[in-house]
Amino acid sequence: MVDVSEKPATMRKAAAGGTVHVSAETFGLIMRDEIKKGDVLGVAQLAGIMAAKKTPELIPMCHPVNITGVDISISPDKENCLFGITASVLCKGETGVEMEALTAVAAAALTIYDMCKSVQKDIKISNIRLLYKSGGKSGEYMADDV
């Protein structure tokens, strides 16, 4: 791991996003809460929060950071049969929380897949990416498509 002991602690924020594409049938089942495993979007939101907190255990070179906030938003898009996932993570520390936000989105997306795989095998997870980051020496970043 990179030594960050000489860096000053600053407020850090990162947001990541991703998309889960499903069939119209699967979209309807999720929205009507008819998936046998339970509340897909609620469980996916919880999985994203848990994953952000466990990121250093999953990604070998990530520093453990003292996360002060995690927000997972899942937005249904009926017209395109997809769910947009956004994760925002906050901390005050020596290193950023981009990996925590990205891991949260990935875990939420994988949870949707897991809970719906019995009704659809070809669910597509796509476009997992960093949307925004602030804090630290490198300053602010915003993706072009935000």
Residue 129 has which token pair? 């990416």
C-alpha gyration radius of the chain: 16
Q: Is 90 helix (H, G, I), strand (E, B) or coil?
A: strand
Annotated active-site residue 3? The verdict is: no
Q: Is residue 27 part of a domain?
A: yes
Note whether residue 145 is domain-resident.
no
> pLDDT tens digit string along 3-37?
888 888 889 999 999 999 999 999 999 999 999 99
Q: Where are the alpha helices (DSSP H) in the chain?
A: 24-31, 40-58, 98-116
Q: Is the pTM of this model over 0.85?
A: yes
* Residues 131/142, Cβ–Cβ less than 8 Å: yes
pLDDT digits (tens, 9 = 90+) for 59-102: 999 999 999 999 999 999 999 999 999 999 999 999 999 999 99
pLDDT in tens, 35-61: 999 999 999 999 999 999 999 999 999
Catalytic residue among 33, 71, 77, 114: 114
Structural domains in the chain (count): 1
1 domain residue, yes or no: no
The domain that holds 95 is classified in CATH as: 3.30.70.640
**How far apart are alpha carbons 52 and 124 in whole angstroms?**
22
Say if 140 falls within a structural domain. no
| Domain membership of residue 73 as a residue range | 10-134
